[in-house]
């Protein structure tokens, strides 16, 4: 009986760990982000799916998030962000530094 409970607990723990991450989509087109701000839940890991819909390369970069991802035209990829404290975290396209930044708002 004890083994069955231990095995059941391990199986349930594995199912909880495999739960899908909250996912947000962000499109990059010639230095512009759509949407320009993502609102996420503070204290929770999440995934951002990035799509380069522009004609040239794009780079999703954020110093406070410690993430940098270069995308060729037409490419879709993702980044996983660690749990954040409440606040605003800027991101930008390093190939277009003259354009406005986007931001991630953790609430």
Pairing relationship of beta strands 23-29 and 32-34 according to DSSP bridges: antiparallel
For the stretch 2-40, pLDDT in tens is: 555 555 555 555 555 678 999 999 999 998 999 999 999
Residue 7 within any structural domain of the chain: no
26 domain-assigned = yes
- Return the bridge partners of 22, or none: none
Structure-token pair, residue 60: 């999703």
Number of domains in the chain: 1
What number of CA atoms fall less than 13 Å from residue 34's CA on the CB side?
A: 8
- Domain containing 65 equals 20-106
Residue 46 inside a domain? The answer is yes
Contact 103, 90 (CB under 8 A): yes
With respect to residue 77, please indicate whether it lies within any of the assigned structural domains. yes
Residue with tokens 């998030």: 65
Residue 9 lies in a domain: no
In a domain, 6, yes or no: no
16 Cβ partners below 8 Å, 6+ apart? Answer: none
In a domain, 69, yes or no: yes
Q: Where are the alpha helices (DSSP H) in the chain?
A: 2-17
Output the domain CATH number for residue 36.
2.60.40.420
pTM given for the model: 0.80
Q: Which of 63, 94, 59, 98 has the alpha carbon at shortest distance from 77?
A: 59
Tell me: the pLDDT tens digits for 48-101? 999 999 999 999 999 999 999 999 999 999 999 999 999 999 999 999 988 899
In-domain check, residue 8: no
Position 16 scores a pLDDT of 56
């Amino acid at each position: 009986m004890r083994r069955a409970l231990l095995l059941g607990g391990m199986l349930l723990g594995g199912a909880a760990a495999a739960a899908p991450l909250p996912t947000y989509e962000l499109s990059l087109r010639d230095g512009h982000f759509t949407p320009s701000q993502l609102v996420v839940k503070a204290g929770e890991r999440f995934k951002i799916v990035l799509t380069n819909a522009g004609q040239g390369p794009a780079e999703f970069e954020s110093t406070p998030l410690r993430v940098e991802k270069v995308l060729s035209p037409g490419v879709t990829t993702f980044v996983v962000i660690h749990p954040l404290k409440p606040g605003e975290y800027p991101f930008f396209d390093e190939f277009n530094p003259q354009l406005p930044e986007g931001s991630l708002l953790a609430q």
